[in-house]
Amino acid sequence: MKLTVQNCKNIALKSNKLKARVDPEQHRSQEGDDDKGDSVARVPPHCHITIKCTREIAGFNGLSEAVRRLDFSSAVRDVRRFNYICALLELLLGGQKLTHLPGAAQKLLLSMLEQLADQVATSKQNLNALRALLVALSSLRESERRACWGRPLGSRALWHNHDHAIARIRHIADSIRIQEPGPEVVPKLHDLPEECIREILLRIADHRDLDAASSAWSVMASVCSEQRTWRELVAFHFTRPQLDAVLKGKEDVDWKAVFHQLRKLYGLREEAQFTETLSLCRHCKCLFWRSLGHPCIADQASTLANP
């Protein structure tokens, strides 16, 4: 078959129709876009939330549906959304919340964790996040083991599947090996001048990473002991009035101590931990990823008002 623009368009339309069997709502909105013109705009993942849950919508208002519609599985591979997904999983694994969810949601979250482990194994990044999740998962499994007459509460087949998934995730985590780059990769971190190391450390927003860096290498330790590093971290996380309330006009300041004092008083900037977060639209009660946006009734109303 000759590959022309028209052919490509037909293939695109056919693949959209195939997808429509899986997600009719997405297809409807895509059809709307096709009518508008040649540009095939992808509808960003979004999920309408109905506060009053009726029997008719119960199947579409649960956590598993939200996770599916918001495309969490591909979000795992997105470096901006990775930390947010980890925080959500940590929240659900802690405090036995996972076991209170419906079976389908439990399966979905474990499969998300498996994809996350795969992603960590491929990218060799965020190993500590995966380890923290595994510790939470193990303690959850351990406390569930003897919940009801010596066996976990709930379906035996479901737990059998869960155990297999947990074993797979553990296997992935155990087989991650970080290789030191060979001699052909230059320059190495140790070859960089101190100014470059300082510039790197000044971009770190988490004080625990600074402490870890100091214990890893003496040059980093000396940069981390500089007042400037902590002064800039304070400026990043806290506002001027917050800082003034702690300093009270003091001249001689230990910025590391001030940072920890402020951290205990006010907490760190939440948005600094997550590059990308979910937002809820006030107009259409729709959950969406902040950077991707969503098709909103407010936009439609404004275009109707100003044709």
The residues that touch Zn ion, with contacts defined as CB under 5 A, are 281, 283-284, 286, 296
CB of 53 to Zn ion, least distance (A): 20
Q: Which is nearer to Zn ion, 25 or 194 (CB)?
A: 25
CB of 301 to Zn ion, least distance (A): 10
285/48 Cα distance (integer angstroms): 6
32/36 Cα distance (integer angstroms): 7
Which stretches does DSSP call E strand in 19-123? 46-48
Q: Which is nearer to Zn ion, 87 or 286 (CB)?
A: 286
CB of 75 to Zn ion, least distance (A): 20
The two structure tokens encoding residue 142: 């351990």
CB of 51 to Zn ion, least distance (A): 15
Q: Which is nearer to Zn ion, 246 or 286 (CB)?
A: 286
Instruction: Identify residue 264 by its one-letter amino acid code.
Output: K
The two structure tokens encoding residue 194: 């101190």
CB of 16 to Zn ion, least distance (A): 23
39/33 Cα distance (integer angstroms): 8
Q: Which is nearer to Zn ion, 151 or 283 (CB)?
A: 283
Which residues make Cβ contacts (< 8 Å) with residue 230, sequence separation at least 6? 255, 256, 258, 259
129/136 Cα distance (integer angstroms): 11
Q: Which is nearer to Zn ion, 170 or 290 (CB)?
A: 290
